[in-house]
């Protein structure tokens, strides 16, 4: 059965798409079957994975019922992808029916045996797309920067997570908080990390032991349609993301071996 993981934070610019790409790239390198789903109208994940959306079905068509999710899957160089485009920005007003929170989960049920992991890149907003992602997911990964504004984003996210767990997905688990562009030499980094740990405890989770450093290679990889794992495999950030994915999937491997 596919493990569904949403990468989420209502604040933009915290490395959600980079984290998604890197998770997908490393999981594929490890031999897993992976599907990436772009739920952001900006389509950054689709672009970063080298996917062209012209003349293809997108996640917008899936959510609107224009096609089945299997019809929207594109095989990319990194992994399979369900792409996005700007049409997705109007979905909040277009999806008004009963049960709209469950559309994505129902579609993903058909893919449960085809993939090992399904990775969702969520938009930087608490919208019907975000609710669908949380309702469909087993776990959430929350990337953040060691900045005060990132803390505010997580604090606000907390209420949405609790609401989804109460009404739509009782088994939803917050897997952890991932610190991106981490620099231990900054005084603010330690202060924010301490507060983030308190928020993590309130969410019933923790901060991942692995931290991700800032890197020029990470910024360059999307232009080549690659993840950092293949674009610059020996870079510090690639090594860190490999360690992070190992940390992320370790509990899944333990359960599978029982």
- Give me the phi and psi of 32, to 5 degrees please: -90, 155
Q: How far apart are CA 238 and CA 232, in angstroms?
A: 7
- Give me the phi and psi of 112, to 5 degrees please: -55, -35
DSSP state letters, 143-155: EEESSHHHHHHHH
Q: What pLDDT score was predicted for residue 257?
A: 65
Name the helix (H) or strand (E) containing 17.
helix 16-29
Q: Read off the pTM.
A: 0.94
- E-assigned strands of 85-243? 117-121, 139-145, 173-180
Q: What is the mean pLDDT of each run of 10 residues along the chain (258 residues)?
A: 94 90 97 97 93 89 95 95 92 84 96 96 88 97 85 80 94 94 81 86 92 90 91 94 96 72
* Structure tokens, 122: 């969520």
Neighbouring C-beta atoms of residue 223, cutoff 10 Å? 11
**CA-wise closest residue to 161 among 180, 136, 140:** 140
* Structure tokens, 253: 């491997």
Domains and CATH numbers, the chain: 3-257 (3.40.50.300)
């Amino acid at each position: 059965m596919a493990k569904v993981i949403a990468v989420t934070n209502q604040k933009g610019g915290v490395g959600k798409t980079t984290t998604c790409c890197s998770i997908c790239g490393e999981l594929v390198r490890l031999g897993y079957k992976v599907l990436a789903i772009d739920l952001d109208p900006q389509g950054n994940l689709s672009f970063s994975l080298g996917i062209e959306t012209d003349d293809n079905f997108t996640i917008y068509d899936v959510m609107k019922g224009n096609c089945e999710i299997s019809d929207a899957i594109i095989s990319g160089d990194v992994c399979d992808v369900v792409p996005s485009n700007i049409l997705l920005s109007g979905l909040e007003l277009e999806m008004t029916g009963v049960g709209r929170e469950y559309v994505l989960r129902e579609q993903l049920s058909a893919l449960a045996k085809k993939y090992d992991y399904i990775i969702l890149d969520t938009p930087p907003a608490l919208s019907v797309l975000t609710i669908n992602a949380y309702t469909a997911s087993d776990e959430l990964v929350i990337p953040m920067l060691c900045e005060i504004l990132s803390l505010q984003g997580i604090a606000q996210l907390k209420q949405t997570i609790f609401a989804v767990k109460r009404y739509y997905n009782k088994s939803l688990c917050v897997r952890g908080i991932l610190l991106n562009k981490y620099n231990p030499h900054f005084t603010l980094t330690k202060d924010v990390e301490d507060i983030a740990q308190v928020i993590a405890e309130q969410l019933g989770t923790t901060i991942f032991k692995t931290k991700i450093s800032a890197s020029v290679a990470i910024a360059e990889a999307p232009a080549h349609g690659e993840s950092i794992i293949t674009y610059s495999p020996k870079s510090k950030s690639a090594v860190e993301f490999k360690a992070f994915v190992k940390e992320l999937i370790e509990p899944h491997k333990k359960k599978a071996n029982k």
